Amino acid sequence: MKIQYRIYDSITISHFQPLKPGSFISECKKFELQISTSTEGKAGTTISPKLIWRESTRPDVGFSIDFLEITLDQKPEGNGFQILQQGYQSWSLTKKMKPEEQDLSPRLSFLQYSQENIYSGEKGKAGLFLSEYFLLAYNKENKNGILYASWDRGDFGIKFDIHLTQTGEVEYVSAIYDIYCLPDIRPNAKLSISKIKIESFVGSPEEKLSKYFKHLGTELKAPAFPKKVPTGWCSWYYYYTKIDQKIILDNLAKVRELNLPVEFFQIDDGYQKEIGDWLVPNEKFPGGMRILADEIKRVGLKPGIWLAPFLVRKKSEFFRKYPEAILKDEKGKPVPAIYQPLWGLDATYALDITHPTSLAYLEKVFSTIVKEWGYPYLKLDFLFAGLLPGETYKKNLSPQARYMEAMQMIRKVVGKNTFLLGCGAPILPSVGFFDGMRISCDVAPFWHPEKLRTFLKDRNALCTETALINDLTRASMHRNLWLNDPDCLLVRKKRNKMTEAQTKLMASVMAVSGGMLLVSDDLTKLEMERLQLLKKAFQLNSECQGYTPVPLGIFEEDFPPALYNPSGYLGIWNSTEQTKTVQVPLPPGLKPKEPFLDFWTGTRIDCSLSEKKDLLSVELPAFGSAVISV
């Protein structure tokens, strides 16, 4: 166990030594770590750590703490374990990892800090993994596993470090708290840290995950979710930033003409004059944004709008007027948050969201958009920027704490009746602030990652395949933490490299998940057969919305082969390029009966059940999918 701190650029790592039962003292004598442990039988073990500053005076000028690492003694016995590695934010990949695999971040630094936890360095060796917020280790042969998880939420981020040997034995596990600030520590005062839960279990890892998410939602006071989940249209995945007032109005008219069962109409990126100047529409929107909101309401829909509140570009009026409110590094240079070629070839920077000027501006932006323009649905994007390292105005707030403080202010300004959708957002600190949350990277009009992204070893690279993996592995967050946003459905033929089978597979996963469903095509050019697919997807989604789904086989394949929705639907798919017999481990208690009819075609599907009726098998063609009533 150890703590890392610094005085300006001088870094010290101090290990803890036993002082007395449940108490440890750092080698530098500055810190005492107290760990209390309680065991509740089948409910597992709860670890409650506290950090105490043991010097008689306050820390020196320039002092800050980087991280605290605590060794966890409880480990599963035996070989054959894999892990489910949880990603840091919306776009970070969550999937099973085998002992022989490596935990590798993208090669380019800007991809690392815009997609992953910048405070987590890659391991780069087989069997060494970092998992954010929770870690699930599982032996699929013996069907036993263990969950290590943040059981509440303190001011500091948490991740779990694990080493699997070549044979799948758990060699060690530790919890690492991302502090990265100078907390308000006083002599002999205890600094409370989030609790850790360790639960051994036998049986379904998917059910264990779902129960954990339910606990988190209750503990962190997630809002009550309506039975009806947002459906709608979004401008992004056909037009990207090339939208204008006419495009928006043409698609709005088409939504009504086609009688699509949607509730929201979302104007995405491209309306603003500059990133950071959210209240100034560009010349393509001469009537302003309030008029569009009124027009959307006039046809019976709810207007939605996109913004990236923690980002700013150098050309913006805000950047020029208020340079003091921009997050800067130790050399006084603005901290880059992302490179987005659609905005320009230079960097886009992060706000210091603890600075009074930034907070006052954010308050004005949100108040104007909701109360004056009349948008009751806001998509907040690139939220990871609020946690990037830099010299902040409030130095006593950790990255996680400053993010939560800013989100608390935003929620207060917009009110509880405004639907907030998060994107590019850290998972655990976002619970309780959002109604909906993107749980995957961006979809795309192609299935596999682009070759350049593969060369750059970008495991989070946007593409439909990667997005759907997260939609499945994180499916049980739906209605426990928020309403899941699996990203937009693309059904068009033109400007779409996906095959018809891949498009149908995409629709199957998104519809059965019961999460938000927004289409992002040019509705004025949508082919008739694809329109029918879209309408059936909305129909299926409407039947699945009110339930929390359970993915099946998360330790069988990188792309889990099935998703069960308690509404009575089971989605099954073959995500490979060859015909394959897909075997689905059925959830406990589910006893499906024949005949099996496919929702999409109404035809019979030739499925077979194991003798115990706990395993369903079906042969599917390449990228084939079926949704059956069970």
Residue 93 phi/psi, 5-degree rounding, is: -65, 135
What letter does residue 500 receive in the DSSP assignment? H
pLDDT of residue 124: 79
Tell me if residue 110 falls in helix, strand or coil: helix
pLDDT at 382: 98
Instruction: Please give the average per-residue pLDDT across 465-483, as a whole number.
Output: 98
Whole-structure pTM over 0.95, yes or no?
Answer: yes
Per-residue DSSP letters for 356-391?
Answer: HHHHHHHHHHHHIIIIII---EEEE--GGGGG--S-
Helices (H), 482-571: 500-513, 528-544
Contact 140, 82 (CB under 8 A): yes
Question: In Å, how far are 62, 191, 275, 579 from 279, measured between CA atoms?
Answer: 38, 41, 10, 52
The half-sphere exposure of 538 on its side-chain side, counting CA atoms within 13 A, is: 18
Beta-sheet pairing, 190-192 with 45-53: antiparallel
Q: Tokens 């192609």 map to which residue?
A: 446
Sort strands 569-573 and 625-629 into parallel, antiparallel or unpaired: antiparallel
Helix axes 399-414 and 356-367, enclosed angle (nearest 10): 30
HSE-CB for 76 with a 13 A CA cutoff: 30
Instruction: Kindly give the pairing relationship between strand 302-307 and strand 377-380.
Output: parallel
Active-site residue list:
381, 442
The DSSP annotation for 615-630 comes to: EEEEEE-TT-EEEEE-
Give the pLDDT confidence of 201-226 residue by residue, as tens digits: 999 999 999 999 999 999 999 999 99
Query: Per the structure block, which two tokens stand in for 186?
Result: 């006083």
pLDDT, residue 109, reads 85
Q: Which pLDDT score is estimated for 105?
A: 87
**What pLDDT does residue 93 have?**
97
For residues 382 and 29, give the distance between their C-alpha atoms in angstroms, rounded to a whole number.
Answer: 40
Class of domain 562-629: mainly beta
C-alpha dist (Å) from residue 249 to 233, 291, 539: 12, 11, 25
Instruction: Please give the share of the chain, as a percent, with pLDDT higher than 70.
Output: 100
pLDDT tens for 58-114 read 898 899 999 999 999 999 999 999 999 999 999 999 999 999 999 988 888 888 889
Contact present, 342 and 274 (Cβ < 8 Å): no
Task: Give tens-digit pLDDT for 157-185.
Answer: 999 999 999 999 999 999 999 999 999 88
- As a whole number, the mean pLDDT across the chain is 96
DSSP 208-274: HHHHHHHHHHHHTTPPPPPSSPPEEEESHHHHTT---HHHHHHHHHHHHHTT----EEEE-TTSEEE
| pLDDT tens for each residue of 560-610 | 999 999 999 999 999 999 999 999 999 888 888 888 999 999 999 999 999
- Summarize pLDDT for 486-521 with one digit per residue, the tens: 999 999 999 999 999 999 999 999 999 999 999 999
What is the DSSP pairing of strand 134-139 with strand 82-85?
A: antiparallel
Tokens 């946007």 found at: 462
The pLDDT of residue 593 is 81
Long-range contacts of 321-328 (CB under 8 A, 24+ apart): 322/357, 322/358, 322/361, 324/355, 324/357, 325/351, 325/352, 325/355, 325/357, 325/358, 325/361, 326/350, 326/351, 326/352, 327/351, 327/352, 327/353, 327/388, 327/390, 327/391, 327/392, 328/352, 328/390, 328/391
Burial profile 262-283: b = 16 or more Cβ within 10 angstroms, e = fewer: bbbbbbbbbbbbbbbbbbebee
- 455 forms beta bridges with none
Tally helices (H) and strands (E) across the chain. 12, 37
- HEC string of 410-473? HHHHHCCCCEEEECCCECHHHCCCCCEEECCCCCCCCCCCCHHHHHCCCCCCCCHHHHHHHHHH
Q: How many residues does the chain have?
A: 630
Domain map (residue ranges) of the chain = 2-205, 562-629
Q: How are the residues of the chain apportioned to helix, strand and coil, as percentages rounded to the nearest 5?
A: 25, 30, 45
> Sheet holding 580-585: strands in order across?
580-585, 615-620, 607-609
Q: Are 274 and 316 in contact (CB under 8 A)?
A: yes
- Rg, Å, the chain Cα set: 25
How far is the C-alpha of 52 from the C-alpha of 191, rounded, in Å?
6
Report whether pLDDT(283) > 90. yes
Do 225 and 483 form a contact (C-beta atoms < 8 A)? yes
Residue 476 CB coordination number (10 Å): 25
Report pLDDT for 415: 97
The answer to whether the beta carbons of residues 166 and 127 sit under 8 Å apart is: yes
Long-range Cβ pairs for the range 284-290 (8 Å, 24+): 284/243, 284/244, 284/245, 285/244, 285/245, 286/245, 287/245, 289/369, 289/373, 289/375, 290/372, 290/373, 290/374
In terms of Cα–Cα distance, which of 422, 416, 339 is closest to 108?
339
Q: What is the pLDDT of residues 246-262, one digit of tens each?
A: 999 999 999 999 999 99
Task: Grade residue 42 by pLDDT with cuts at 50, 70 and 90.
Answer: confident
Structure confidence at residue 139 as a pLDDT band (50, 70, 90):
very high
Return the number of other C-beta atoms located less than 10 Å from residue 132's C-beta: 24
